[in-house]
Amino acid sequence: MKYYILENELNNNLINFLKSNKISDYFDSYAWLVNNLQSLSCNYIIIVAEENNNIIAMSIFFIAETDNIDKWHNITDFFVDTDDFKWNLKDINDSFFSKKHSYLYPYAISAIPFGYKSGVIISEHCKNPETIILKIIELSEQYFRNIDLKLIAYLWVKNKDDILINELKEQKYDNFFVGGDNYIKLSNFSDFQDYLKHFKRKKRADIKREINRFLFKNHIDVIEDKTDIINKIDDISKIHKELNKKYQNDFYDNLFKKYLLNLLQETSNPILFVTYNEQKKMIGFNLSFLFKNNLYTKYVGFFENKTFNYFNTCIYEPIKYSLNKNINNIYLGGGSHYAKIQRGCDFYDYYFFIKKINNDIHSEYLNYKKYANQYSQNKINAYKGDVTND
């Protein structure tokens, strides 16, 4: 087995690997990953494991030196700049809370850029993933210590990534629960009526009212033609920008139109575009990508001052579409968790794994962990409380 490091580049072997059927997740695919790496405003490295000229595994790390990354990967303020965390801050010093943890820079992040997924990608044909993952972790620590980084963070690790989780725990990484990736296993249902039978009578009646209520005056379009979607790129960008004001995520917003156009042009996978329309004008949308018979919902946008029927556009129509196409699962992302659970979703746990590799920030990191642990406990309480679909 040969290991090597690429700095701000992809070689032909890596490109072929990302385009191959050895990739199991859309967010690891060539179209998604390459487009996002090109959109980064920071340096990145890729640690590659190769055997007989075939890539077996890789891990992407991008380097945060300043506030130059999107907020969902910026661990300097992730744990102290969200509404969830602010619910329980009575016993925490406000001056420290308001100060983002800039002393953590520079640090390395292993994650898929602009996606909620670990940056460790293992071939479906890999025979010894434990050994390879451990070697990647060791090489990354050695590399980042040599360039004087302060932390290494493996973000958006799902609890189904048990081998990666076990190796990170063995290497003394701190772990923090940060939410969940909601999904619906469609093989449980034969059709949409069968899906409705999953719920008790009252909830089933509520869902039927949700479906019918807004469609009396408005309508939903389901679009699969990529050219038709690209022709709506200006409207998509305008709506996305409006919603992004809520999250104050200007970093990503400034890239979005060009980025999305490149993504749509690059992807060879089927695309599902559901639009919610009022008087023939699009006021909301849901954009999803089909990969290996799983549907990944990635972009949702709507005008907040309009009556947008989220559940029809983002849950019920994709379920109908997927059941008709015999799709295995829909991955709906981490937002609106309670509402999704009530409509039949299960979820994978998401964790951040973080390790201090520079003793100069020892006391500061202990203080940072206090915030991270409280945020994590709040999330556990919110996600794993008593939620039913009654």
Q: At what angle do helices 12-19 and 30-39 cross, to 10 degrees?
A: 130
pLDDT in tens, 131-142: 999 999 999 999
Q: Is residue 359 part of a domain?
A: yes
pLDDT in tens, 318-369: 999 999 999 999 999 888 888 899 999 999 999 999 999 999 999 989 988 9
pLDDT at 80: 61
Q: Do residue 65 and residue 187 come from a single domain? A: no
pLDDT at 97: 41
Burial category of 350 from C-beta neighbours within 10 Å (exposed 0-12, middle 13-18, buried 19 and up):
buried
pLDDT at 87: 36
pLDDT at 94: 42
Q: Do residue 95 and residue 194 come from a single domain? A: no
Q: How many domains does the chain have?
A: 2
Q: Is residue 207 part of a domain?
A: yes
pLDDT in tens, 299-330: 888 876 555 678 888 999 999 999 999 999 99
pLDDT in tens, 1-55: 999 999 999 999 999 999 998 899 999 999 899 888 887 888 999 999 999 999 9
pLDDT at 296: 96
Q: Do residue 199 and residue 167 come from a single domain? A: no
pLDDT at 85: 39
Instruction: Provide the CATH number for the domain around residue 23.
Output: 3.40.630.30
Q: pTM of this prediction?
A: 0.89
Q: Is residue 389 part of a domain?
A: no
* Parent domain of 72: 2-180+350-383
Q: Do residue 276 and residue 171 come from a single domain? A: no
Q: Do residue 249 and residue 320 come from a single domain? A: yes
pLDDT in tens, 185-229: 999 999 999 999 999 999 999 999 888 876 655 678 899 999 999
Q: Do residue 37 and residue 113 come from a single domain? A: yes
Encoded tokens for 11: 């070689």
Q: Do residue 249 and residue 273 come from a single domain? A: yes
pLDDT at 337: 87
Q: Do residue 263 and residue 362 come from a single domain? A: no
Please check the confidence at residue 69 and state whether its pLDDT lies above 80: no
pLDDT in tens, 108-151: 999 998 888 999 999 988 999 999 999 999 999 999 999 999 99
pLDDT at 113: 85
Q: Do residue 306 and residue 375 come from a single domain? A: no
Q: Is residue 390 part of a domain?
A: no
For 260, half-sphere exposure in the C-beta direction (CA atoms, 13 angstrom radius) is: 26
Q: Is residue 388 part of a domain?
A: no
pLDDT at 37: 86
Q: Do residue 175 and residue 194 come from a single domain? A: no
pLDDT at 103: 83
Q: Do residue 172 and residue 310 come from a single domain? A: no
What long-range pairs does 137-144 form, CB within 8 A, spacing at least 24? 137/167, 137/168, 137/171, 138/171, 139/3, 139/5, 139/47, 140/47, 140/59, 140/61, 140/108, 140/110, 141/171, 141/355, 141/357, 143/5, 143/45, 143/47, 144/61, 144/108, 144/357
Taking the CB of residue 358, how many other CB atoms lie within 10 A of it?
A: 16
Q: Do residue 189 and residue 95 come from a single domain? A: no
